[in-house]
Structure 1
Amino acid sequence: MKVYLKDEILYIEQEDLPSYKKGGSIVRNSYFWALKSISCYSRKGKDWEFDQVVWLALCRMLLSFAQSGYLGDSETMLEFDTDTPIPNELRSVSTWL
């Protein structure tokens, strides 16, 4: 998932966010709701925002869903621009584009 930082807030770009599908996969729908529940701003069609205080929870959640084997790396890995330092709290679930 493509992300960026601004004023110590992590943004996940809306085109990379999971989607909720009525009648869809239980794992994917659970992932959608779990991610949405810890975001500080999550409007349809907008980038979702995550305050620094939830970054550790975000990391643990992404690791858990990645280890389940149901979701691929592109869905559970945070992708930063090469010129953006990756915060320590997010290193284990992050890479550079």
Structure 2
Amino acid sequence: MRVYLKDDILYINQEDLPTYKKGGSIVRNSYFWALKSISCYSRKGRDWEFDAVVWIALCRMLLSFAQSGYLGDSETLLEFDTDTPIPRTLRSVSTWL
């Protein structure tokens, strides 16, 4: 998922966010609601925002869903621009584009 930082807030690009589908995969719908529940701002059609205080929870959640084997790396890795330093808290679930 493509991400960027601004004023200690992590933004996940809206095009890379999971979608909720009625009658869809239980894992993907659970992933959607789990991400939404810890975001500080999550409107449809907008990038979702995550305050630094939830980054540890975000990291644990992404690791958990990645280890389940149901979701691919593109759905559980945070992808930063090459010129952006990755915060220490998020390094285990992050890479550069």
CA distance in 2 between partners of 1:70 and 1:76 (Å): 10
Equivalenced residue count is 97
Structure 2 unaligned segments of length 5 or more: list them.
Answer: none
Moved over 2 A (4+): none
Once the two structures are superposed, the pairs formed by residues 13-52 of structure 1 within 5 Å of their partners are: 13-52=13-52
Query: Residues 39-75 of structure 1: CA distance to partner in whole angstroms, max 9, x if unpaired?
Result: 0000000000000000000000000000000000000
Q: 1:11: Cα distance to partner?
A: 0.0
Q: 1:94: Cα distance to partner?
A: 0.1
The amino acid of 1:10's aligned partner reads L
After TM superposition, the score normalised by the length of structure 2 is 1.00
> 1:96 — aligned with what?
96
After TM superposition, the score normalised by the length of structure 1 is 1.00
